[in-house]
Structure 1
Amino acid sequence: MRTIDAHQHFWRYDPVALGWIDPATALAQDRLPPDVRVAMDRAGIDGSIAVQASQTEAETLWLLALTERYPWIAGVVGWADLCAPDIADRIATLRHPRLVGLRHVVQDEPDDRFMLRDDFTNGVRAATAAGLAYDILVYPRQAGHVPAFLDRVGDGRFILDHGGKPPIAAGGWQPWADAIARTARYPGVWCKLSGLVTEADHAAWRPDDLARYVDHLLDCFGPDRLIFGSDWPVCMLAADYARVHAVAMEHITARCPDHVDAIFGGNAKAAYRLPDQ
């Protein structure tokens, strides 16, 4: 079984294009595929999916070019202006065997109902019609709109990033928990076990802090719709690659040992329709 880390980022650091990065952190430098390859090998991870970090089509083309230099990057979740009236043409321009999905950083939109806009939902429908998955990136305050969004966009493959970003550091539960339960009722939605350490206390988190949130995701989505992702290098704000992988593996092995292969590879392949290698 091929193992997949379904959420990584790569960039050449640019403080303007990557304005969300705090320049005082370890993220404020180039982060490229060779920088994570040794850690992946040690964790037994064969390949990855590269996910957009800046909202430009130029970055998407750059990520797709990386897949040709580093064939272990199995797919790219890129960006295109989903609100553009010519979105179908834009997607056609980006067409590449390794383009497996698109994402918009909805969490940064000031309007919590942004994902319900007609132009945006039309763009997402164009993406799914082109055979692409769509990654959903929202904060809990926006997550309550996800079911209505799914009703509007219709059939497709959707992946909820970072477990819907639960408020782990504050020990919060609602409205996140209800939004997860409602979203999981849609069979075309998978959920990534990714980015959880950076929702916890960066300096003092423990595996137990994450456990009830991971258990809720397992209970709602089931092990056949959960996907491991490291969120490297963003995870480095709270933990190195080895620890992120080890904590996830320990919990999944204890909770659903028969589904380790699915969560660490098979589900990503199904959700993103990854090409065989």
Structure 2
Amino acid sequence: MTVIDAHHHFWRVAAQDQPWRDDRHDAIARDYTPDDLATELAAAGVDQTILIQSVDESAENDRLVRSAAEAPYVGAIVGWLPLSDPAAARAEWKRSGDAFHGVRCLVGRDPLEWLSRLETVELFTDLAAAGVSWDVVPVTAEQTAAVIGLAEAVPDLRIIVDHLGRPPIDSGGWEPWATQLAHLAASPQVALKVSLGIDLLTALPTWPDEVDRYVAWAVECFGADRLMLASNWPVVLLRASYQDAWSALRSTVERNVTTPDELAAVLGGTAAHNYRTKGQP
């Protein structure tokens, strides 16, 4: 079994502006390189990774390719495209060649109404035909509906929802997150990452002990074969070491799946399938 960390970043703070990072994130205001992560992966028993963009600019794509060349453990890259501007997205996709197995742009709380435009649907149709997946974090009902609408319009598009769709662990809440997650899961090509995003990690004072019921709901909605374990390193270092976070999330998954095959899917099989990692068709 190949164990895959399905979501991490590299960055050099002097080389890129990160508008999502503010003074609450001083703990991660430093460089994070392939060598830094290699040590963590070896200790955690992780074989392969998915490298994800963290800045919305074409220079980020060049940085991702260079970093992946230094990191033989990177199995796939999720690059940046300006997806709300299909013409610009196509130009950047052409410039980047076939370097990416997935794409993403940071959407925040953008209502994503542009997902329903014909030219956007055509762009995603072509991405799907090329085997390129899409990462997104829909956190509002409006965003969820927009993502579901795109899934219906482009049924061959592999959609990966990052960071459990931002569960309200910090408040102990449940709705509307639980219903939105169930609605996303009703689209069979949508998969979900078992990880915590920067919004939640910023809101929490420490690593949470209350993840279990949220992961249990994710398993119930998606099934193990549409879930993938992910660290979100180095963002996760805001609240835990790589080893502690990976171990905690893996233990939570182990408590909520029932067979070795299900565990293998979450630990690597789902990511390998959705991102067409090295060694996959």
TM-score of the two chains, using structure 1 as the length reference:
0.90
> In structure 2, how many angstroms separate the alpha carbons of the residues matched to 1:206 and 1:250?
13
Amino acid at match of 1:181: A
> In structure 2, how many angstroms separate the alpha carbons of the residues matched to 1:78 and 1:213?
28
**Which residues in structure 2 correspond to 1:19-38 (within 5 Å)?**
19-23=19-23, 25-38=26-39
Q: CA deviation at 1:204?
A: 3.6
> In structure 1, how many angstroms separate the alpha carbons of the residues matched to 2:112 and 2:172?
22
**Secondary structure at 2:196's aligned position in 1?**
coil
Determine whether 1:243 maps to 2:248.
no
> In structure 2, how many angstroms separate the alpha carbons of the residues matched to 1:134 and 1:33?
24
Q: How large is the Cα RMSD of the aligned pairs?
A: 2.2
Select between 27-36 and 1-10 the one with higher mean Cα deviation.
27-36
Q: Is the 8 A contact 1:52 1:60 kept in 2?
A: yes
Q: CA deviation at 1:249?
A: 1.5
Shift in CA distance, 16/78, structure 1 to aligned 2, threshold 3 Å: closer
Per the alignment, residue 189 of structure 1 pairs with 190
Q: CA deviation at 1:121?
A: 3.6
Determine whether 1:275 maps to 2:281.
no
Per the alignment, residue 227 of structure 2 pairs with 226
Per the alignment, residue 94 of structure 2 pairs with 92
Q: CA deviation at 1:51?
A: 0.4
Determine whether 1:60 maps to 2:67.
no
Amino acid at match of 1:18: Q
Determine whether 1:266 maps to 2:260.
no
Per the alignment, residue 47 of structure 2 pairs with 46
**Which residues in structure 2 correspond to 1:78-227 (within 5 Å)?**
78-82=79-83, 83-96=85-98, 98-109=99-110, 111=111, 113-141=113-141, 142-195=143-196, 199=200, 202-207=204-209, 209-227=210-228
Amino acid at match of 1:217: A
Q: CA deviation at 1:196?
A: 5.7
Amino acid at match of 2:89: I
Q: Which stretches in structure 1 are left out of the alignment for 5+ residues?
A: none
Q: CA deviation at 1:162?
A: 0.7
Per the alignment, residue 9 of structure 1 pairs with 9
Q: CA deviation at 1:116?
A: 3.6
Shift in CA distance, 58/205, structure 1 to aligned 2, threshold 3 Å: closer
Q: CA deviation at 1:14?
A: 4.2
**Secondary structure at 2:126's aligned position in 1?**
helix
Select between 196-205 and 237-246 the one with higher mean Cα deviation.
196-205
Shift in CA distance, 105/115, structure 1 to aligned 2, threshold 3 Å: farther
TM-score of the two chains, using structure 2 as the length reference:
0.89
> In structure 1, how many angstroms separate the alpha carbons of the residues matched to 2:145 and 2:229?
23
Shift in CA distance, 144/84, structure 1 to aligned 2, threshold 3 Å: closer
Q: Is the 8 A contact 2:229 2:250 kept in 1?
A: no
Q: Deviations over 1:30-89 (max 9, x none)?
A: 111111221111110011111010001211121112222211111110101221325334
**Secondary structure at 1:217's aligned position in 2?**
helix
Q: CA deviation at 1:144?
A: 3.8
Q: Is the 8 A contact 1:103 1:137 kept in 2?
A: no
Provide the aligned length of Structure 1 versus Structure 2: 274
Q: Is the 8 A contact 2:132 2:158 kept in 1?
A: yes
Amino acid at match of 2:97: R
> In structure 2, how many angstroms separate the alpha carbons of the residues matched to 1:43 and 1:267?
19
Q: Which stretches in structure 2 are left out of the alignment for 5+ residues?
A: none
Q: Is the 8 A contact 1:101 1:135 kept in 2?
A: yes
